Structure 1
Amino acid sequence: MLTENLTIKNIILKNRIIAAPMVTNYWDDHGNPTAKTLELYEGYANSGTGLVVAEQLIVHPWGRSALKQPSLYDDDSALALRELTKIFREKEIPVVAQLNFSSRVITPALLDTPNFKFVSPSGLPTPRKSNVDAESCALELSEIDEIIKAFADAARRAVEISMFNGGVQIYASHGYLISQFLSPLTNVRTDAYGGSLGNRSRLLFEIVKTVKKAIGDVPLSVRLGASDQMPGELENGLTLKESIWVAEELSKMGIDWLSVSGNHCIYGIGVNDDDTAYFAPYSKAMRDVVHKHNVLVDCTGGIRSREKAEKLLEGCICDLIGIGRPLASNKSFLEGWHL
């Protein structure tokens, strides 16, 4: 099944492997691609993968996580990314723009930069070890509206200016802003964006609606954090049961593809990533619900062999296989997979 063609809305993948997004810090101080950036993505284009997701593109000046990071919050930044997407357009490989607002997961140097405001849902720290030792401001309702619009504007730029030919993905996992809203560990708001699961999901749902309207008939994906469960610990915070409900609601809203990952836990529910496909239980639970809505699901994390990938597909665990760190560190990783 791995080498079968697969259609996502209006694009055809030559196989079911995704080059999953990985933060590189290979960009210049203005967020433009460098020779090192282009070398990495050229490697992805030649790796044999059927789809590539470009690392998180920031939608708002407050949403950065590092100094050297690509963005889509103005037309000039979007135009600079066309050099990167050209690599994939020429090879007819779909490349997806992953849209993000970082929030509490940042490098300390950002705190001293102009036009940056340190914000979060409730001013609370996250369980991530990379959390900076500084207080953030709880977002005002007007600022939330501004961020929702920023996602839609960035999505439009990604498609119309940067020319991403595979669509866009909304980043709602790994402890970034949207996943902080989803989690009761970091969202204790008492307004329409906090409390019940429906309220905690409101930001994500509103972003999906506005982005979908902005990009029209273009593939739309969400990378959803399925649980806050830390490796080796009992589930705490956002639960898989809650995320299954969120996933089905997203499916009803018309997303095309769900990427399953962790929330505040970032990586797996197990401590070993040596070909364990540690998110497979999450992926299976999600796919069982969204498949009836014709939404595809990818499983990424701890997949190290073609044999494991085939078993995941044949067992209806997922529809797509994401390969992240191995492919980023070794452009020849997929050579033995006979794609």
Structure 2
Amino acid sequence: MHRPTQLRPTQLRPARHMSTLAAGRAGAALAAGSLLLTACGSTAVTKNSADELRGRLPAAVKAAGVLKVGSDLNYAPVEFKDQNSEAAGIDPEIAEAIGKQLGLKVEIVDTSFDKLIPGLLAKQYDMVMSAMSDNRQRREGTDDSGKQTSPGVDFVDYFIAGTSLLVQKGNPKGVKSLDDLCGHTIALQRGTTQAAIADRQIGACGKTGKPLVVHLFDTDDQALAEVATGRAVADLNDYPVAAYVAQRNQAGKQFEVASSQLQPGPYGIALTKENTELRDVLAKALDQVIRSGEYDKILAKWNVGAGAAQNAVVNGGF
């Protein structure tokens, strides 16, 4: 993230870091998606057999036969735990498809979103796939002031999503834009793209004399609970998650999406900067998954086809 917040099939949950995209919203997503085709970091579409790709895997990954994936399983429909407590959703299914291309078993390591990059840098897993937006701060490892706080990470971009405002059904406060949040309280998951958007909006609202209060939570479920009870007027979430929550919770009677997608950009698979070998293999494996048709099948299953990328891109975010 963008990242996080949303409803699990069995419980309330915040969206993160997209979902049934309407035609109008699809245009914005696809416009951003075109960047995936032209970014200077894009990978060439070449014919790489599964055996060739497996041969290019880092020795440690190949020897283990396992691709460890850090993910915050609390962000349906992108990633969540199903009724059997197994990883489910868009990201786990794409990860599994990539793993099959590489002849690797995929192991999901459930980790809270704000700890995913620290865990990656500590080599607790090989990669992060968790509705995480590819942006400059994450790539450069800087905070909002530009101070270096970590080595940064590389991304293999695989999906396009924007931020939406999720409000109570009927939108009692008439919230339709970020400026409409001024003078109100909002709730969202910490460590997400949405948290950065909210932080910038605090400054904008301050200039109007209508301060914006932001409540940050560890999970999107907690943020949604604030909106449900009226303690917050909105939750900022990735559109897929926001749409999923609005459609599923209380049969669509509790929440609604109050805006089109804001600031659409790519989700990326995060890897450490020194792990270029695995990064490049993953990009080529993802291209194969896309060309095989399996990628489109996964997105269609979760009604997020409008966010499809046409090919993998390395570090294509804004």
Q: TM-score range by the shorter chain?
A: under 0.3
TM-score (norm 1): 0.26
User: Higher relative CO (CA 8 A, sep ≥ 6), structure 1 or 2?
Assistant: 2
Relative to the length of structure 2, the TM-score reads: 0.27
Higher strand content, 1 or 2: 2
